């Protein structure tokens, strides 16, 4: 009995339940169009209506009611047929599960939105697939979605689920002990899912919080700069303010004028931001791998949030300059002799620049550390040789296809397996125990042919690989060092030990391999058990790994593709480059590095602009002092030092906070990796010195201009 039916019949809290099963990269054919699909789901008949998928053609209630029926998305219909009027059209399915299947299209669905965790192009009916979908002992990527009568019943429903193993497993069936149910709210699917195998890779909430924090810090830095630039420019507006006051302008009117100017600046900047967001959508996706739509701009809550943020920006950036300008005395303003640099206001502006330099220094150090870790990932020994390896789907005629591979001079060797050693061996979680022991260990599993270890150059720590000539090896195991250690054995002690895998296969350990990375360096190497492939079971031979001769890769790949297509005309050819597959394990880290680099460049630009503005203000405020110094014999270098030294000292002093903060942050980030580089003090020093150098360049222009100016220009009005 399917779990969904059990939930509907036995649990009073459940109004409706449905199941989804993701197919493993099947090929679909319609006419001459053949494609390998990543978004094919099998589902119960009520799935479309229960989940509220938008139906463009057909009926949500009846689309999947019968076996061999299929709902297709609009984009998929266009891809295969060139139009969306496809009700009644036939499609041929080849893949796992179900091997081969002929479908009739009964519904056309609108494409799912980008922000859903449900990614589908096809939904096939689970009717007629009972052997696959109703076995509770089959650990497949099958999800059950439940709609409760009342969301307040979620707690009692989760507690009631504990009775299922007791009720539906025989007392002597130990598999019941393996099963546990942990319901999750569908709103947790994006960022907080605790499930090990989800419809879609979940996002990283810590990254989201970090990017939000950086966005706020950037806005604060922008406000700081606006304040400093406004104050620096205020000395050029003294006479304007004086004239306005002589003509009767009150203090509040001057403030209103300044704030109105800020409102216009913020409005123009917001319009420019929208334009850039639209124009940079595609480059942003290419650089980060992330996609965003601008539909959310039409939502009322976004409008209110935007207005609130803009109001805060206007007040934060404009209020202080407005108060300062409105406070100018009338007669000194007309004479151009207003002194706007009170000690407390100068200290405030210097404190804000200190804050900017500290944030920029932290980000510079972060970029250096992240690049060190990425280089470590790139150069890490994996324990498995993947440089010349590619993988393709299994062939419908394996013997004939193998004969063609033997003729290709660019093929050094090939082997079948259920999983690949990198990026897919973590997709078949099972349980393993010693014979006579009731304690289970969760392990990763993979079926493979003899010779797999040799072609991938995976080293043995003890024992041997599978021997096709040894009958007893059909029930043998090869395990990794991690699994041996978890069982309490050394590699030598593990040989000959008897294990029970997934409660239906008992066998003897014949070999122990040295640990190799299957999940990248972010995660620890998991316990792994490898089993010999039975030739008659295609699901144990999903991939064909091929080792290429160096220097002949391109021509050999083309020859392999042509041979594969001759033997598999109803399926689309796809090729996995193993080095690229390994790189994809760290795609999120690469994206994180690019985002941090972007924020770093932005922060440095803002900080440099702030230093430039403050140095310009300082030079303007000290122009009389500079003139007197030059008349008394000071050279240009001394003038440059008098202006630039305070800012360089400000930048240096910010490192006292920035470097410890950067160390703490990067240690926390590196701790997320099971295998990591060590944080070096010189990396922090280099990052700090880079920021000081950038600060020096930022203030150099105004310092040089002040140092070379004719003193008569400053003193002629005295």
Taking each helix axis as running N to C, give the angle between helix 251-279 and helix 205-234, from 0 to 180 degrees, rounded to the nearest 10.
Answer: 140
Burial code (b: 16+ CB inside 10 Å, e: under 16) for 407-445 equals: ebebbbbbbbbbbbbbbbbbbbebbbbbeeeeebbebbb
Residues 153 and 163 sit within 8 Å (Cβ to Cβ): no
Query: Which pair of structure tokens corresponds to residue 687?
Result: 């990052």
Q: What is the pLDDT of residue 236?
A: 61
Would you call 434 helix, strand, or coil by DSSP?
strand
| Beta-carbon-side half-sphere exposure of residue 621 (alpha carbons within 13 Å) | 19
Of 532, 565, 581, which residue sits at a domain end? Answer: 581
Query: What's the whole-number average pLDDT of the chain?
Result: 81
Of 150, 172, 188, which residue sits at a domain end? Answer: 188
Q: Report the C-alpha gap between 557 and 575 in whole angstroms.
A: 9
Residues 517 and 384 sit within 8 Å (Cβ to Cβ): yes
Asked if the structure places residue 181 within a domain, the reply is yes
Q: Report the C-alpha gap between 514 and 494 in whole angstroms.
A: 13
Asked if the structure places residue 479 within a domain, the reply is yes
Query: For residues 518, 520, 525 and 528, what is the CA-based torsion angle, rounded to 10 degrees?
Result: -10
For residue 27, give the H/E element and its range. strand 24-30
Q: Which long-range contacts (CB under 8 A, 24 or more apart) does 554-561 make?
A: 555/410, 556/408, 556/409, 556/410, 556/411, 557/390, 559/408, 559/410, 560/390, 560/392, 560/405, 560/408, 560/411
Q: Which residue has the higher pLDDT, 637 or 134?
A: 637
Burial code (b: 16+ CB inside 10 Å, e: under 16) for 295-306 equals: eeeeeeeeeeee
Burial code (b: 16+ CB inside 10 Å, e: under 16) for 637-647 equals: eebbebbbebb
Asked if the structure places residue 677 within a domain, the reply is no
Q: Which residues contact 684 (CB under 8 A, 6 or more apart)?
A: 365, 659, 662, 663
| Beta-carbon-side half-sphere exposure of residue 361 (alpha carbons within 13 Å) | 30
Query: Which of these ranges, 216-220, 513-517, 630-634, 689-693, has the smallest mean pLDDT?
Result: 630-634
Residue 542 has pLDDT above 60, yes or no: yes
Q: pLDDT digits over 465-523, tens only?
A: 998 878 778 889 999 999 999 999 999 999 999 999 887 789 999 999 999 998 888 88
Q: What is the pLDDT of residue 136?
A: 53
DSSP 262-295: HHHHHHHHHHHHHHHHHHTHHHHHHHHS----SG
Q: pLDDT digits over 143-180, tens only?
A: 888 888 888 778 778 777 777 776 766 555 555 555 66
Q: pLDDT digits over 580-625, tens only?
A: 888 888 888 888 888 888 888 888 888 888 777 777 777 666 666 6
Q: Report the C-alpha gap between 574 and 571 in whole angstroms.
A: 9
205-214, 500-509, 538-547, 694-703: range with highest mean pLDDT: 500-509
Phi and psi (nearest 5°) for 607? -65, -40
Residue 718 has pLDDT above 90, yes or no: no
pLDDT band at 188 (very low <50, low <70, confident <90, very high): confident
Q: Report the C-alpha gap between 305 and 309 in whole angstroms.
A: 6
Q: Which long-range contacts (CB under 8 A, 24 or more apart) does 401-408 make?
A: 401/544, 401/563, 401/564, 401/567, 404/563, 404/567, 405/546, 405/560, 405/563, 408/556, 408/559, 408/560, 408/563
Question: Would you say the C-alpha torsion 112, 114, 115, 117 has a positive or negative sign?
Answer: positive
The H helix count followed by the E strand count for the chain is: 24, 21
Query: For residues 282, 284, 288 and 289, what is the CA-based torsion angle, rounded to 10 degrees?
Result: -20
Asked if the structure places residue 336 within a domain, the reply is no
Q: pLDDT digits over 410-462, tens only?
A: 999 999 988 888 866 655 667 788 888 878 888 888 889 889 999 999 999 99
| pLDDT mean over 263-280 | 87
Q: C-alpha angle 65/67/71, rounded to 5°? A: 65
Integer-rounded Cα radius of gyration of the chain: 34
Of 141, 170, 188, which residue sits at a domain end? Answer: 188
Residue 220 has pLDDT above 90, yes or no: no
Asked if the structure places residue 626 within a domain, the reply is no
Domain extent, residue 128, equals: 3-188
Q: Report the C-alpha gap between 335 and 276 in whole angstroms.
A: 44
Residue labelled with tokens 């009767």? 248
Q: pLDDT digits over 50-92, tens only?
A: 999 999 999 999 999 999 999 999 999 999 999 999 999 999 9
Query: Which of these ranges, 166-180, 225-239, 285-299, 480-494, has the smallest mean pLDDT?
Result: 166-180
Q: Which residue has the higher pLDDT, 464 or 243?
A: 464
| pLDDT mean over 11-25 | 85
Which regions of 423-485 does DSSP assign to beta strands (E)? Answer: 429-434, 441-448, 460-463, 477-480
Asked if the structure places residue 355 within a domain, the reply is no
Would you call 317 helix, strand, or coil by DSSP?
helix
Q: Report the C-alpha gap between 259 and 549 in whole angstroms.
A: 70
Q: What is the distance of C-alpha 10 from the center of its chain?
A: 40
Query: Which of these ranges, 103-107, 147-151, 525-529, 562-566, has the smallest mean pLDDT?
Result: 147-151
Residue 352 has pLDDT above 80, yes or no: no
Predicted structure pTM score: 0.77
* Residue 28, strand partner residues: 35, 93
Q: Report the C-alpha gap between 363 and 573 in whole angstroms.
A: 44
Using alpha carbons, list the distances in angstroms from residue 418 to 215, 240, 414, 584.
45, 79, 14, 20
Cis peptide preceding 97, ω within 30 of 0 = yes
Residues 409 and 565 sit within 8 Å (Cβ to Cβ): no
Residues 410 and 555 sit within 8 Å (Cβ to Cβ): yes
Asked if the structure places residue 395 within a domain, the reply is yes
Asked if the structure places residue 674 within a domain, the reply is no
Residues 477 and 529 sit within 8 Å (Cβ to Cβ): yes
- Per the structure, the count of domains in the chain is 2
């Amino acid at each position: 009995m399917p779990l969904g039916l059990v939930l509907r019949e036995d649990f009073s809290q459940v109004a409706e339940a449905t199941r989804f099963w993701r197919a493993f990269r099947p090929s679909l054919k319609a006419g001459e169009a053949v494609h390998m699909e990543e978004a094919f789901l099998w589902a119960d008949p009520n799935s479309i209506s229960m989940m509220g998928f938008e139906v463009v053609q057909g009926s949500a209630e009846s689309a999947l009611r019968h076996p061999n029926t299929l709902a297709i998305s609009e984009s998929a219909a266009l891809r295969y047929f060139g139009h969306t009027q496809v009700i009644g059209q036939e499609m041929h399915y080849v893949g796992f599960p179900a091997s081969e299947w002929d479908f009739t299209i009964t519904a056309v669905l609108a494409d799912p939105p980008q922000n859903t965790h449900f990614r589908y192009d096809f939904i096939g009916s689970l009717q007629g697939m009972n052997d696959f979908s109703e076995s509770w002992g089959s650990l497949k990527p099958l999800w059950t979605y439940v709609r409760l009568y009342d969301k307040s019943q979620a707690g009692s429903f989760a507690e009631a689920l504990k009775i299922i193993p007791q009720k539906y497993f025989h007392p002597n069936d130990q598999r019941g002990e393996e099963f546990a149910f942990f319901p999750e709210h569908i709103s947790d699917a994006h960022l907080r899912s605790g499930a090990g195998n989800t419809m879609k890779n979940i996002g990283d909430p810590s990254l989201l919080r970090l990017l939000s924090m950086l966005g706020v810090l950037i806005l604060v830095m922008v406000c700081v700069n606006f304040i400093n630039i406004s104050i620096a420019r205020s000395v050029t507006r003294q006479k304007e303010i004086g004239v306005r006051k002589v003509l009767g302008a009150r203090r509040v009117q001057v403030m209103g004028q300044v704030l109105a100017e800020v409102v216009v600046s913020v409005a123009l900047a917001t319009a420019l931001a929208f334009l850039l967001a639209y124009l940079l959508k595609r480059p942003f996706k290419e650089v980060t791998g992330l996609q965003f739509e601008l539909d959310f701009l039409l939502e009322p809550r976004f409008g209110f949030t935007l207005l609130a943020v803009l109001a805060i920006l206007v007040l934060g950036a404009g209020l202080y300059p407005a108060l300062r300008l409105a406070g100018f005395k009338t007669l000194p303003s007309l004479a151009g002799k207003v002194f706007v640099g009170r000690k407390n206001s100068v200290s405030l502006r210097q404190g804000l620049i200190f804050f900017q330099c500290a944030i920029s220094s932290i980000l510079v150090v972060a970029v250096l550390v992240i690049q060190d870790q990425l280089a470590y990932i790139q150069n890490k020994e994996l324990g498995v040789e993947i440089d010349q390896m590619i993988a393709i789907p299994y062939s419908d005629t394996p013997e004939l296809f193998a004969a063609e591979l033997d003729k290709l001079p660019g093929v050094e060797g090939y082997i079948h397996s259920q999983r690949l050693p990198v990026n897919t061996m973590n997709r078949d979680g099972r349980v393993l125990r010693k014979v006579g022991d009731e304690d289970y260990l969760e392990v990763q599993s993979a079926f493979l042919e003899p010779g797999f270890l040799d072609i991938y150059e995976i080293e043995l720590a003890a024992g041997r690989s599978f021997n096709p000539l040894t009958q007893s090896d059909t029930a043998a195991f090869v395990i990794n060092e991690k699994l041996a250690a978890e069982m309490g054995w050394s590699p030598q002690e593990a040989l000959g030990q008897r294990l029970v895998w997934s409660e239906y296969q008992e066998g003897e350990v014949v070999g122990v391999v040295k640990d190799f990375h299957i999940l990248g360096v972010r995660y620890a190497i998991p316990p792994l058990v490898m089993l010999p492939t039975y030739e008659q079971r295609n699901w144990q031979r999903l991939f064909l790994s091929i080792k290429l001769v160096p220097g002949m890769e391109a021509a050999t790949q083309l020859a392999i593709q042509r041979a594969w297509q001759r033997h598999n005309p109803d399926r689309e050819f796809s090729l996995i480059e193993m080095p690229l597959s390994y790189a994809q394990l760290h795609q999120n880290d690469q994206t994180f590095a690019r985002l941090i680099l972007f924020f770093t460049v932005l922060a440095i630009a803002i900080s440099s602009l702030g230093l430039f503005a403050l140095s310009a203000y300082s030079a303007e405020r000290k122009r009389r002092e500079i003139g007197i110094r030059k008349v008394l014999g000071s050279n240009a270098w001394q003038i440059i030092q008098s202006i630039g030294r305070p800012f360089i000292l400000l930048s240096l002093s910010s490192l006292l906070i920035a470097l410890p903060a950067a160390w703490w942050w990067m240690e926390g980030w590196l701790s997320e990796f099971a295998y990591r580089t060590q944080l070096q003090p010189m990396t922090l020093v280099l990052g700090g010195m880079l920021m000081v150098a950038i600060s020096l360049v930022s203030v150099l222009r105004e310092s040089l201009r002040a140092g070379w100016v004719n003193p008569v220009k400053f003193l002629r009005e005295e």
